[in-house]
Structure 1
Amino acid sequence: MTAVLGVPARRRQAPAPSFAHLARLSDDTGLLEHARHAVPRREHGYCTDDVARGLVVVSREPEPAPAVLRLAEVYLSFLTHAQDDSGAFRNRLSYDRRWTDDPALGDWWGRALWGLGTAAARSTAPWIQQEALYAFELGAGRRSPAPHAMAFAGLGAAEVLRRHPEHPGAAALLADAAAAVGWPDSDPLWSWPRRHLAYASAALAEVVILAGTAQQDIALRAAGLRMLSWLRGLQLVDGRLSVLPAAGWRHGSPRQQYDQQPIEVAALADACATAAAATGDPAWHDGVRQSIGWFLGDNDTGAVMWDRATGGGYDGLTPYGPNLNQGAESTLALIATLQHGRGVAGFRATGR
């Protein structure tokens, strides 16, 4: 069956996430950041940002295969090695196992707490849960001046609260994360706390929803839902996702169409799944379906954004189709998005 781009052609189920390429990018130290096509590029080394995201996706698996559980062990060991006694994290490790930066509280700190919190809440291995919670608690007392870093950390805090609802450190961090994001503007044409949309924007809306839910603050939860609804709406074109490019978008300036990054799609899928769980409204699952559809070709060029043979995700969508490199960030975004397909009915996608 064929269809015009953007017009639904048929209902089909999301493919199961594959961990084959993630295993290809991983070794006994961590997760290599970059690849040329499907071949890991050792010269670029490892980064805490990606290892933390790796721990998120492997910890989300309800029945992980032994190889996937082994990845969780490697990623957890990497993060605990990256963390200093104050709870901050280094981000970059060269292939010869030398840190090239000092501990700090950038995005990688937030993502590390996200990964640790997810492992503490969801891992099937008790020892991983225990060690992840210890490392999370060490880092959760710190605060970053960066809203994105705080949002990622808040996602980890929300995970800890899933298993430990009375955890004071997690509750305080989640509340502070929402405060760091701020309240959306009252202008319905720009329902966002800032005048610039950068990267992984849906994560900011998601942490506000989670904080409002945890605090039973109806107004705060509604603010997060309003942010997410507005963000999703401006990235829809004829029913398909056209996500903001890597350059972002500043209010009042021309909006670029490319290069679109898988991280935006994954963040939107996560946030829509959270909104569906928080509200009980299955209409939010449409955002998950559209995110899955983006990877399968329901996007601005009709390009499939993953390699079925390797299991890797392509690094970005350009005017000429996909960037065929299959690095860690894009592969993790693919896996994270497909994981949501388990709980969502068949979705609309287009063929070419």
Structure 2
Amino acid sequence: MTDGLRIAFVGNALPRRCGIATFTCDLELAMRHLPEVAQTAIIAMCDPGGQYAFPPQVRWSVAQDDRGGYLAAADFINTQGYDVVCLQHEFGIYGGGAGEYILDLIAAVDAPLVTTLHTVLDQPNDGQRRVIEAIIAASARVVVMARKGRRILIDQYGADPAKILVIPHGIPEVPLVLPQYAKEKLGFAHHRIILTFGLISPNKGIETMIEAMLVVLAMVPDALYVVMGATHPALLRADGEAYRESLRAKVTTLGLDGHVVFIDRFVERPELLDHIAMCDVYVTPYLVESQMTSGTLAYSHGLGRPVVSTPYWHAAELLEDGSGLLVPFADPDRLGLAVADLLTDDEARLAMGRKAYVASRAMTWANTASRYGEAFQTVRRPVALTLPPVDLSHLAVMCDDTGLFQHAVFAVPDRHHGYCIDDNARALLLCCTLGATAASRPLIEKLRPRFAAFLQHGWNPDNGRFRNFLGYDRRWLEETGSEDSHGRTLWALGRCARYREGGVMAPWASALFASALHAVAGFTSPRAWAFTLLGLADYCLAHPRDHAAMHIRLDLGERLHQQLLACETGEWVWFEDRLTYDNARLCEALIITGKAVGRDDWTQAGLRALRWLIELQTAPAGYFRPVGSHGFLLVSRAAPMPFDQQPIEACATVAACIAAMSVDASRSWLAEAHKAFAWFTGANDLGLSLIDPLDGSCRDGLHPDRANENRGAESLLAYLLALADMEQANPAHRPIQPEPDILTSSPIQNLLS
């Protein structure tokens, strides 16, 4: 398991009076209570003239217009060694044109950056666009609070969809209560209360609701509109209280004195929650559509208050399920009628409040923090991982003079099920991957010819296919194995063909590979295509002038790419309508092949699918959670089941992430590989290691309540192959072998020459 996360939050902080300050402090508090978080700190911005008695969690502060202060803050973050920096971005809280000073801090910090965009402009000016594009480029993840924000970032800013997360605004976890108790506590017991709260400024549309009170009072004479909140500090500095006074004058002009109450102060959370609890209807009559986030709306909705709002972006999404009412912008008559209808229909009003409360449970701060924690864990740079030593003791136990047994009862080989070419091919692949670097070289030299002989014996020249299952009585149980087992055998032969330490085995493997390759042209299994492509990656390096092999390579790569394009949608980025076994091998094959033959569209498609798969296979707490085998027969595009978890998925994910490292610098793929490998050693749903340190055996998987104590060939080889891949990913580790001297140009150039 990795050490606890250390997170630095950059933004505003209480007691500064603004929504960003409230959000930052709420998020920091919620994150601080997660078990996987070890330490948090806030780096707080100070507006001109602002001096604040910050709480202890604020470890550093920056004067907004002091450009040097941003670099000093970055130096503090780097010196303290935080794992992740979480930036809260809003135009106006950072110095320079369009807040560009924050880019200095971003460029100087060492830790990965996760940015929450509180405003997403669909029509930015040049300066705003430049700043947002720079922030997106520097961020490992970008969080928005509404789907509309994600769409704008993709369409208007060209952001990578894989980077963007939609995490709704957090809300307090409080019980659903009727308003009467809070009304009595606050002195409003004899009124129907309509509430608007937050920092007061002209874009909030308060004038509209004041005018709407004429309609409301005609139907509900005891209605009272409460406007709670201080004037926005920026407006206060520029114009004083002129705007608030204009609202008071409007109330008097319309004869509404006694029906509109102003509470002119910034209230702390307990008082705020009391005032929300007392209202019968909450109103956000904002004047413009392009309001991406409203904390006041989120809080009121989360406390189960019926909401009437204009259809700005956040409200339109939050209330689309009927948990509130939407009315046109700047239309006091429609607004007044909607509010009055709710105030006069107790059953409808209370039902709407209950619906809002239930719908918002996923947005409590604890749940919001978990979503952020998942994002932080995904981008966190890996803590140094000590790899176990390669121990082939159990591999030796699982073999006889024929080959590798399929299954075991506990750690004892199970002769009843005999052998299969799938496992013996994987075993040959392992021997050629470990090679001369392994401490167990004598055993490898002894076993490698045995596995090769099994593959040769499995070859059926009459039909050009490999058999798969062999009984313990040495009789084949079939004349033709599966397409997948054929592809996996080609993968092992391709690796062996490139393996110089094998002596005469390389020519043998090359000849058998060439004979068996042609059958793949008629295959329909995407995994068989992928396994064959992985074999071709090695074979084509050893035989760069085999034009027939190159033609098949290009054909299979195009098939796999087209398979993804045919199946993927915005929400389902995969090659098939369901996820089954060895999933990440499809991504690995497309990435490696695209890189080798110069097809960037294939490489990018493989990365796109791998990003999607990684997100799907990451538990909320950030550890690896592979697709469970119980989900293999699910209906099309259903969410995968979490159990039973198989070692083969962790192995495939390790390999795919290592392949991605060589072509994509936009995220830490090595960290993802570490996370998948750590599944073997205990970073999983049960916190159980699947590895027995006494013999290097690997348990066959995770059930919901225990590990499977049987230790068969597939699980053992999955672990050993993943371990070999992790060792190869270490920059200090010597590669399998240098590229052949004959290879002086790309495979495609060789093909065309």
Q: TM-score, normalised by structure 1?
A: 0.91
Select between 334-343 and 279-288 the one with higher mean Cα deviation.
279-288
The CA deviation string for residues 107-156 of structure 1, in whole angstroms up to 9 with x for no partner, is 11011101111111125122111111111111111122222112111111
- In 1, the alpha carbon distance for the partners of 2:500 and 2:717 equals 17
Q: 1:244 maps to what in 2?
A: 627
Q: 2:486 maps to what in 1?
A: 109
Q: 2:454 maps to what in 1?
A: 78
Which residue, 657, 660, 670 being the options, matches 1:285? 670
The CA deviation string for residues 151-197 of structure 1, in whole angstroms up to 9 with x for no partner, is 11111111212333333243233323323332344523211122111
- In 1, the alpha carbon distance for the partners of 2:654 and 2:486 equals 22
Q: 1:334 maps to what in 2?
A: 719
* Contact 2:629–2:641, Cα closer than 8 Å, also in 1: no
Q: 1:146 maps to what in 2?
A: 525
In structure 1, the gaps of 5 or more residues are 347-352
Q: 2:242 maps to what in 1?
A: none
- 1:156 aligned onto 2:185: no
Which residue, 316, 319, 327 being the options, matches 2:704? 319
Secondary structure, counterpart of 1:35 in structure 2: strand
* Contact 2:629–2:643, Cα closer than 8 Å, also in 1: yes
Secondary structure, counterpart of 2:590 in structure 1: helix
* Contact 2:411–2:711, Cα closer than 8 Å, also in 1: yes
The verdict on how the C-alpha distance between 1:345 and 1:75 changes in structure 2, with shifts beyond 3 A counting, is closer
The verdict on how the C-alpha distance between 1:211 and 1:89 changes in structure 2, with shifts beyond 3 A counting, is same
Select between 228-237 and 249-258 the one with higher mean Cα deviation.
249-258
The verdict on how the C-alpha distance between 1:254 and 1:274 changes in structure 2, with shifts beyond 3 A counting, is closer
Counterpart code for 1:61: L
The CA deviation string for residues 65-98 of structure 1, in whole angstroms up to 9 with x for no partner, is 1211221110111001101224310001111111
- 1:303 aligned onto 2:688: yes
- In 1, the alpha carbon distance for the partners of 2:429 and 2:552 equals 18
The CA deviation string for residues 188-237 of structure 1, in whole angstroms up to 9 with x for no partner, is 32111221111101111111112211220111111111111111111011
Q: After superposition, where does 1:1-352 map in structure 2 within 5 Å?
A: 7=36, 11-63=384-436, 64=438, 65-85=441-461, 86-143=463-520, 144-181=523-560, 182-184=563-565, 185-237=567-619, 238-247=621-630, 248=632, 250-279=635-664, 283-344=668-729
Select between 142-151 and 37-46 the one with higher mean Cα deviation.
142-151
Select between 11-20 and 203-212 the one with higher mean Cα deviation.
11-20
Counterpart code for 1:117: G
Q: 2:107 maps to what in 1?
A: none
The verdict on how the C-alpha distance between 1:2 and 1:203 changes in structure 2, with shifts beyond 3 A counting, is closer
Secondary structure, counterpart of 1:205 in structure 2: helix
Counterpart code for 2:491: W
Secondary structure, counterpart of 2:559 in structure 1: helix
* Contact 2:407–2:414, Cα closer than 8 Å, also in 1: yes
Deviation at 1:279, TM superposition (A): 4.0
- In 1, the alpha carbon distance for the partners of 2:679 and 2:703 equals 13
Q: C-alpha root-mean-square deviation of aligned residues, in Å?
A: 2.3
- Number of corresponding residues: 346
The verdict on how the C-alpha distance between 1:254 and 1:235 changes in structure 2, with shifts beyond 3 A counting, is closer
* Contact 2:460–2:466, Cα closer than 8 Å, also in 1: yes
- In 2, the alpha carbon distance for the partners of 1:310 and 1:8 equals 35
In structure 2, the gaps of 5 or more residues are 5-33, 39-382, 732-753
* Contact 2:579–2:640, Cα closer than 8 Å, also in 1: no
Counterpart code for 1:205: C
Deviation at 1:18, TM superposition (A): 1.6
The verdict on how the C-alpha distance between 1:254 and 1:230 changes in structure 2, with shifts beyond 3 A counting, is closer
Counterpart code for 1:26: C
- In 2, the alpha carbon distance for the partners of 1:98 and 1:30 equals 13
Name the structure, 1 or 2, with higher relative contact order (CA <8 Å, separation 6+).
1
Deviation at 1:252, TM superposition (A): 4.4
* Contact 1:242–1:299, Cα closer than 8 Å, also in 2: yes
- In 2, the alpha carbon distance for the partners of 1:179 and 1:12 equals 37
Deviation at 1:278, TM superposition (A): 3.7
Q: TM-score, normalised by structure 2?
A: 0.44
- In 2, the alpha carbon distance for the partners of 1:327 and 1:87 equals 29
Secondary structure, counterpart of 1:194 in structure 2: coil
* Contact 2:393–2:696, Cα closer than 8 Å, also in 1: yes
* Contact 1:60–1:123, Cα closer than 8 Å, also in 2: no
- In 2, the alpha carbon distance for the partners of 1:8 and 1:79 equals 50
